[in-house]
Structure 1
Amino acid sequence: MSIEGELLGFDGETYRINTVLGELTLNASMVRCDGAACPVTTPAISEFRIAGSPTLGKDLVPGLLRAYGSNKIDTFGSVSRSAGQAGAVGYEVISASGEMIAAVDIGASNTTDGLTDLLRGDAAIALASRPARNREARAFEEAGLGDIRSTQNEHIVALDGLLLVTSPDNPVRAITEQNAALAFAGRISNWAELGGPDAPINIYVRDTNSGIREVFDNLLMRPNGLQISNNVVLVQDDQVLSQVVAIDPYGLGFTNFADGEGAKALAIEGVCGLQTPPNAFTIKTEEYPLTRLLYMYTTDQRLPVHADGMLDFAMSEDAQDLISNAGFINQAIREASIDSQGLRVASAVVANRDFSTFPQLQEMMQQLISSDRLSTTFRFETGSSNLDARAQDDIVRLARLLSTDAFRNKEAVFVGFTDSVGDPELNRQLSERRAQQVVQQLLDENPNLQANVALQAIGYGEISPLGCNETNTGRRINRRVEVWVRDVVARN
């Protein structure tokens, strides 16, 4: 396409043009300027810093930078690594002719420091292994940098699962979050207290400066009012920790989903007896209680051209395989057959002790028995009817997927569920309204979607819990809208 108008200015990275549509600002790397008023330009060099969680900074961001260059920069040649400033690692993006395109420093510290650097203007992007806290968000607003928790500034790039791991020779298969915290605190010291052999529990943990240690404390220890015991073995690497635990029949440790190879990951058992195994699907759906989202944060300040380009690439479908190869769980939508959902079916039966709900449970299974579940699971902000940040991104992702030929003449069923707080019938009505809301937002995103796929919204309230309603985490997991897909079948 072409845009004509009066050139108002050029700052080396963007053109400002007065057009019949008003004043437009255009990324110089994405357009060619033709006309007598066009400035003589040389490719702008983007210099910026990325700081924060080493979980993302070590492997994912350098890979994203290389893939962005090779996929999105026509003149791309290579990426070289060097020592950056203040202990950061420097990366230089070089064109095929040897000219500098971008100079990027990646400082791997922790989430808190990364957000502080972003606030001070010392970083263009902050890497975070947790969401920004209320006080941190207030600091950005007070500094005039905008709402960093808005969809424009809070970017979920990947998911990860915190695994509790032991040896494959250990007979224990599941553990409660509370018992795990007690074991790491030294309050439970024998496997017999966890249903295992009469043997001491050997605890292996990462050092206090590691990102995963901070996540473990936030997810497991602090909610239980406990601290990790001093009587533990410190390990300097996640992969090494898994290897050490795997050969110790009495070992117990924690690691990232990507680094659990060799060791046996324990299922998480809720206080009500429901168990959730850690796998890519339960992490994508956020049903596994120790799931965590990984973020890139920006502010309302304009990003350097290639910082903006790399961030856009990270959120695109083109980046999803790269995210998986870096060891994280990507956000690509996956399908699971009803056969693989056997645990959730059993859980629904066990959880419904009121026989009056069985007709509704039977109806639900009749609806889903010939369907496949998509990993996309919509959740809402706490105490609000607004979709949370990840769900808003998933609306765009799902609308794009359902409009493809693979789903032509199929039916997508949106099934709402709630926790068990309140009146069961009111909960059922609420779950149906939430499912209808998701359908409407999909149609707002793509008004022609129903020409390709049939859409149906159903609500089943509290009858199919995936977490224990006795806990805040369990209630959050249970408040959801699932997406199921099936072939259209003629019914009498």
Structure 2
Amino acid sequence: MKQSHLPMARHRIWVWFLALTLWLPQTHAEDMEIHGSNTIGATLAPMLVEGFLARQGTGPVRVRSNGKDNEKVLTGKHAGATVRALVAAHGSSTGFRALNNGTANIWASSRPAKAQEVAEMAGRANLNDLDSEHVIAIDGLAVLVHPSNPVSQLSIETLGRIFAGEIRNWSELGGDNQTIHLYARDDRSGTWDTFRTLVLGKAYTLASSARRYESNDRLSDDVSRDPSGIGFAGLASVRDSKVLAISDGDAPALKPNQLTVASEDYPLARRLFMYTPGKATTPLAASFIDFVLGEEGQAIVSRSGFISQNPIAVKPELDNSTPQTFRRLTENYQRLTVNFRFSEGRTRLDNKARRDLKRVSDFMSRNNRSPDDIMLIGFADQQSNELRAQMISELRALSVRKALSDLGVGDIAYTGYGHYMPVGMAGGDSGQQRNGRVEVWVRSR
């Protein structure tokens, strides 16, 4: 009689074991695994991992394919031990799934974590927290056409209509009489998510005629061979295509370059992220993230074709619409390639800004600059009256001044410029985030 229950008992044990296996985090095939964005994983992440392992100076770093498309395995030394790191670049959404199920140590994403993703991870880590969210580089979403195309700039609104199929011929835009061919990234791509959010929004849907790509480089190469083509890719994948200047609302059209992208003034600038699981982050992954965010890692970011967060001073080309008062205010200054932006309300600095405080402080130390050499200029989004805008812009500059003072950089000059000189369309969350900023200016020598 007892033997008749053995099959049932074995079945229950098997079900229990299977449930336990599914509940436990999956083991990593490699010592460190980075899953996600093709924008990051194609070139930048492998370069960062190679630089991280090479800094130990105990032997060469080997880079090889594991036989799968868009995946690389890097082998080197860290702390005296052999380390194998996998970079799997199949799209930002795939990276979240890998981090969530325990396959990945690091999620590489070319977009911020979505509210649903933050909620799914909430029991283990807060993806919005400084310990989990790491801005590793700034990228400009470049709008690409054939080098022979006479069109040089477009508004975001016009760009949306083009990719929705409402504008179908280049002659409607001052170009040649040619049917427009659309090139777009695939649905798993963070590049696509960024374009859909910033350009298409809720008003437009991508035309079914668009050709879709998993790789930025392949998309750019195909556009550069098609006189009728238009596409979008990360700034590091421009290659042989022509880049258009883009405008948002009444703000001037800007081309992506080191200043406009690093400051995020360019309307299609975006942050590139790596996410880690908070306190569950492995020591190896945490050490790698520290390297990436530091000066050496950011120098690699620059060499890869993306925009480093290490500040430099440049003399900006001021647009004809720039007021004379602003020209006089800044005539003896250069601008640092960093803007301070805010996460909530009007004075709470976001995660990137909190790290940029130290970068500005380090810039001053490296270049023997005193607080007298620095000027902070705050800006506000469009407000109901000038006085309110002026007050908000000054409060923003004052909040950055105080935060720098807490790092030992005191008595910096600051002012507000109200709601003038917007860099994006006024109003809404986007306008508040982009126009509400603090610029950093350094006295020319």
Tell me if 1:109 matches 2:90. Answer: yes
Change (3 A) 1:277 1:74: closer
Q: How does 1:86-485 map to 2 (within 5 A)?
A: 89-94=72-77, 100-141=81-122, 143=123, 145-221=124-200, 223-234=201-212, 237-272=215-250, 274-337=252-315, 340-343=316-319, 346-349=320-323, 362=325, 364-408=326-370, 410-445=372-407, 447=408, 449-450=409-410, 455-469=412-426, 473-485=430-442
Letter in structure 1 aligned against 2:425: C
Shift of 1:444: 0.5
How far apart, CA to CA, are the structure 2 residues paired with 1:252 and 1:87? Answer: 24
Letter in structure 1 aligned against 2:47: G
TM-score by length of 1: 0.78
Shift of 1:259: 1.4
Question: What residue number does 1:81 align with?
Answer: 64
Shift of 1:408: 4.3
Shift of 1:479: 0.8
Shift of 1:409: 7.5
How far apart, CA to CA, are the structure 2 residues paired with 1:301 and 1:85? Answer: 31
Change (3 A) 1:100 1:83: farther
How far apart, CA to CA, are the structure 1 residues paired with 2:258 and 2:146? Answer: 21
8 Å CA contact 2:248, 2:267 repeated in 1: no
Residue 381 of structure 1 aligns to a residue whose secondary structure is: strand
Tell me if 1:68 matches 2:52. Answer: yes
Shift of 1:231: 2.1
Shift of 1:126: 1.0
How far apart, CA to CA, are the structure 2 residues paired with 1:387 and 1:77? Answer: 41
Residue 183 of structure 1 aligns to a residue whose secondary structure is: helix
Residue 375 of structure 2 aligns to a residue whose secondary structure is: strand
Shift of 1:95: 7.4
Change (3 A) 1:302 1:236: closer
Shift of 1:418: 0.5
Letter in structure 1 aligned against 2:317: Q
Deviations 1:444-471 (A, max 9, x none): 01x2x34xxx610111111222223266
Question: What residue number does 1:55 align with?
Answer: 39
With 291-300 and 87-96 compared, the bigger mean Cα shift is at: 87-96
Residue 353 of structure 2 aligns to a residue whose secondary structure is: helix
Letter in structure 1 aligned against 2:306: F
Letter in structure 2 aligned against 1:300: G
8 Å CA contact 1:418, 1:427 repeated in 2: yes
8 Å CA contact 1:374, 1:484 repeated in 2: yes
Residue 342 of structure 1 aligns to a residue whose secondary structure is: coil
Shift of 1:441: 0.4
8 Å CA contact 2:111, 2:190 repeated in 1: no
8 Å CA contact 1:155, 1:295 repeated in 2: yes
Larger relative contact order (CA 8 Å, sep ≥ 6)? 2
8 Å CA contact 1:347, 1:466 repeated in 2: no
Change (3 A) 1:119 1:301: farther
Shift of 1:84: 8.3
With 78-87 and 183-192 compared, the bigger mean Cα shift is at: 78-87
Shift of 1:211: 4.5
Identity %: 30
8 Å CA contact 1:46, 1:305 repeated in 2: no
Change (3 A) 1:474 1:409: closer
How far apart, CA to CA, are the structure 1 residues paired with 2:265 and 2:47? Answer: 28
How far apart, CA to CA, are the structure 2 residues paired with 1:273 and 1:397? Answer: 28
With 385-394 and 85-94 compared, the bigger mean Cα shift is at: 85-94
Residue 307 of structure 2 aligns to a residue whose secondary structure is: coil
Letter in structure 2 aligned against 1:403: S
Shift of 1:108: 2.3
With 404-413 and 310-319 compared, the bigger mean Cα shift is at: 404-413
Residue 321 of structure 2 aligns to a residue whose secondary structure is: helix
How far apart, CA to CA, are the structure 2 residues paired with 1:139 and 1:247? Answer: 43
Structure 2 unaligned runs (5+)? 1-28
How far apart, CA to CA, are the structure 1 residues paired with 2:210 and 2:395? Answer: 49
How far apart, CA to CA, are the structure 2 residues paired with 1:331 and 1:347? Answer: 28
Shift of 1:273: 5.9
Question: What residue number does 1:5 align with?
Answer: none
How far apart, CA to CA, are the structure 2 residues paired with 1:124 and 1:265? Answer: 35
Change (3 A) 1:185 1:50: same
How far apart, CA to CA, are the structure 2 residues paired with 1:247 and 1:78? Answer: 36
Change (3 A) 1:308 1:266: same
Shift of 1:234: 4.6
Deviations 1:420-449 (A, max 9, x none): 12221121112112111101101101x2x3
How far apart, CA to CA, are the structure 2 residues paired with 1:46 and 1:203? Answer: 39
TM-score by length of 2: 0.85
With 158-167 and 233-242 compared, the bigger mean Cα shift is at: 233-242
Shift of 1:81: 3.1
8 Å CA contact 2:251, 2:421 repeated in 1: no
Shift of 1:242: 2.9
How far apart, CA to CA, are the structure 2 residues paired with 1:316 and 1:100? Answer: 23
How far apart, CA to CA, are the structure 2 residues paired with 1:405 and 1:165? Answer: 37
Shift of 1:65: 1.6
Letter in structure 1 aligned against 2:98: D
How far apart, CA to CA, are the structure 2 residues paired with 1:46 and 1:248? Answer: 41
Question: What residue number does 2:13 align with?
Answer: none
State the aligned residue count: 417
